[in-house]
Amino acid sequence: MTDTSTLSRNPIRRVLISVLFFQLGLAGLLFWGDLQDGLRLPGFGPSAPALTEPIRPGDQTRRYRPDRAPAPGQPMPTSPLSDRLVLTTIEAGASALLEGSIAAGDGDRMAKELGELAQKPQRVILNSPGGSVQDAIALGRFLRAEGFNTALRDGDICYSACPYLLASGVARDIPDGGSVGVHQHYFGESTLLPAFVAVEDIQRGQGEVMGYLHDMGVDPLVMRHALVTPPDEIYILVPEELRSYKFTTNPTES
């Protein structure tokens, strides 16, 4: 047995033992953060079906990976979308296609590229697995201020933060073959703890998102689906929900 009197007479040993326990506790916190950020032990993975499985009302939650995110019921893409938004003009310049993940800085970068086009497109078509919420909102406010319409095409996806870009359109067109999905987001960053414990950042971020949706004419109640869907899953909105939450509009609506 360890002689407690020996420990009390050896302050260096006490300090080293304290540091060891602190490091073990810190390692536990970091490991738990990794679990929340995608690392999962056997038997603890998401229970939702794969995104390649078709959806139906009441069965709309699917496993989600931003680097491999097809529309429900479609085969897994052979290559991922770009890791940042890429702007391409299509339809003889009448439309601008934004494809890829929404990376940090894409809000300002895409606003600049759209503003520099020789011919202003009538609408912005989206195909994105999501990304930075802050950049999506910033770019969305630019799109609304400039009077752009937004749309998806058959087979296009708009997941995670992408619906905030979609919401910015003065008119919004989503065909039955397009796919819109929502889930929980991380707000803020920490080098020690995962963002889900940063309650203040989460509350501020959710408040900003709900205010933004209201400003865009989309019902903030859509967030009830996002708030109960973890980041490694996605809740796919069916056409009836897209209409009821006012994600889709008629061309004459604003």
Q: Would you state the pLDDT for residue 75? A: 75
Smallest CA-to-CA distance from 241 within 229, 227, 224 is with 224
- Does some domain include residue 208? yes
- Does some domain include residue 95? yes
- Does one domain contain both 227 and 139? yes
Task: Give the whole-angstrom CA distance, residue 108 versus residue 123.
Answer: 18
Structural domain range at position 96: 61-244
* Among 109-118, 121-130, 243-252, the least confident range: 243-252
Q: Would you state the pLDDT for residue 28? A: 59
Report the CATH number at residue 209: 3.90.226.10
- Does some domain include residue 174? yes
Domain count, the chain: 2
φ, ψ (nearest 5 deg) of residue 143: -60, -40
- Does one domain contain both 162 and 77? yes
- Does some domain include residue 252? no
27-83 pLDDT per residue, tens: 555 455 544 444 444 444 557 899 889 999 999 999 998 887 777 877 777 778 899
- Does one domain contain both 141 and 76? yes
Longest dimension (CA), the chain: 85
Mean pLDDT (the chain, rounded)? 82
Band (pLDDT 50/70/90 cuts) for residue 5 is low
Tell me the average pLDDT across 146-171: 97
Map tokens 């490091």 to a residue.
23
- Does one domain contain both 186 and 112? yes
- Does one domain contain both 196 and 85? yes
- Does one domain contain both 73 and 198? yes
- Does one domain contain both 94 and 186? yes
Above 80 in pLDDT, residue 26?
no
- Does one domain contain both 66 and 142? yes
C-alpha distance from residue 119 to each of 95, 130, 143, 148, 229 (Å): 10, 27, 15, 13, 40
- Does one domain contain both 20 and 95? no
Q: Would you state the pLDDT for residue 195? A: 45
